[in-house]
Amino acid sequence: MIEIFDFRKGIDNGILQKLHNRSKLENKEIAKKVEEIISNVRERKDKALFEYTYMFDGINLDKSTVKVTKEEIKNAYKEVEGEFLKAIDKAIKNITEFHEKQKQSTWLDFKEGIVYGQIVRPLSQVGIYVPGGTASYPSSVLMNGIPAKVAGVEKIVMVSPAGKKGVNPYVLVAADKIGIEDIYKVGGAQAVAALAFGTESIPKVDKIVGPGNIFVALAKRALYGHVDIDMVAGPSEVLVIADETANPKYVAADLLSQAEHDVMASSILVTTSLEVAQQVKIEIERQMEYLERKEIIEKSLKNFGAIIVVN
């Protein structure tokens, strides 16, 4: 469980070093496995993709079942609440308005025989990775898909690992709401490799965006150069700075929202109030009991969480 460290009595270099070392952790065996997966998918395409999907996700796929169908999209709407649909519509409106203001335009200027300027063209095809498995976030669809739509990307290809019941219905509805039609039921390093090189089922893209676990992050890093990427993202982290006026319930919720992402996520509170620190710790323990991802949260907070009291 998350611990309280009172730095008013002296700085604990041990916990600081532990938190700092998180960024250096990388399993060499995982990196080696990722390279092997990439090589196999590049050479054997769909065959390797489907083999890895069965190996890691326990899902049998072939060329006729790998793509999400219109019927599956229709059924997804039956599984989500009306409040979710309202929230999604509002989020789409807000995110679209924001990115519309970021759009750049082509311009040219002429000066003393010199022509200068910029030509802005959207990418032709972009791949979006949306996590599944232990965590599924429709927000990942919106935050990556909407900028691509606003930019004018011709084709958006989305991959997201499926469970026994298919791809998460909330993820499917979010994708449908913003007009993503090409959705594939694959994930992990094998899906990233498929987007980078193309297979018989999945088209090659110009750029891959979206978060994922360590396999996905290492695959994106390894493939940068073959394909463009947004960044090597994750694991998640949050640092909350609070004084004595902070609401412990809200602070605890903020910390838990990151801790649930991954066992390597880091959630840190820095506060000037010992009372707030103690109340937040109590709230974390209370709220965690109602969360499905309790086991992941416990590991995350134990390994990379901290409540630090300062002057």
Which region holds residue 172: left if phi is over 0, alpha if psi is between -120 and 50, else beta?
Answer: alpha
Integer Cα distance of 57 and 53 in angstroms: 5
Q: Which tokens go with 198?
A: 């193309």
pLDDT, mean of residues 72-88: 97
Strands (E), 8-113: 107-111
Q: Which tokens go with 215?
A: 């396999």
Cα radius of gyration rounded to whole Å, the chain = 22
The per-residue pLDDT for 134 is 60
| CB-CB contact of 59 with 155 (8 Å) | no
Residues in a beta bridge with 208: 127, 229
Integer Cα distance of 202 and 194 in angstroms: 6
Integer Cα distance of 209 and 230 in angstroms: 5
The per-residue pLDDT for 26 is 63
- Topology match between the domains 4-25+235-309 and 70-229: yes
User: pLDDT tens across 130-179, in order?
Assistant: 998 666 789 999 999 999 999 999 999 999 999 888 999 999 999 999 99
Integer Cα distance of 258 and 300 in angstroms: 9
Burial of 71 (0-12, 13-18, 19+ CB in 10 A): exposed
The per-residue pLDDT for 30 is 87
Give the pLDDT band of residue 68 (cuts 50, 70, 90).
very high
The per-residue pLDDT for 139 is 95
Q: How many C-beta atoms lie closer than 10 Å to residue 293's C-beta? A: 16
pLDDT, mean of residues 184-201: 98
- pLDDT above 90 covers a percentage of the chain that reads 84
The per-residue pLDDT for 261 is 84
In sequence order, the 6+-apart residues with CB closer than 8 A to the CB of 285 are 1
The per-residue pLDDT for 216 is 93
Give the pLDDT band of residue 283 (cuts 50, 70, 90).
very high
Q: Which tokens go with 5?
A: 């460290």
Q: Which of 47-51, 228-232, 262-266, 307-311 has the lowest mean pLDDT?
A: 262-266
Strands (E), 134-261: 155-159, 182-184, 207-209, 228-229, 237-242
3-state secondary structure of 62: coil
Q: Classify the C-alpha dihedral 33-34-37-39 as positive or negative.
A: negative
| CB-CB contact of 125 with 205 (8 Å) | yes
| CB-CB contact of 48 with 40 (8 Å) | yes
Residue written as tokens 């996520």?
A: 265
Residue 10 dihedral angles phi and psi, to the nearest 5°:
135, 145
- Ranges of each domain in the chain: 4-25+235-309, 70-229
Query: Which CATH class for the 70-229 domain?
Result: alpha beta
Assign a CATH topology to domain 4-25+235-309.
Answer: Rossmann fold (3.40.50)
Question: In whole numbers, what is the pLDDT of the chain averaged over residues?
Answer: 94
Which region holds residue 188: left if phi is over 0, alpha if psi is between -120 and 50, else beta?
Answer: left
23 pLDDT higher than 90: no
The per-residue pLDDT for 308 is 98
Q: Where is pLDDT greater, at 1 or 114?
A: 114
The per-residue pLDDT for 25 is 67
The per-residue pLDDT for 233 is 77
User: pLDDT tens across 242-255, in order?
Assistant: 999 999 999 999 99
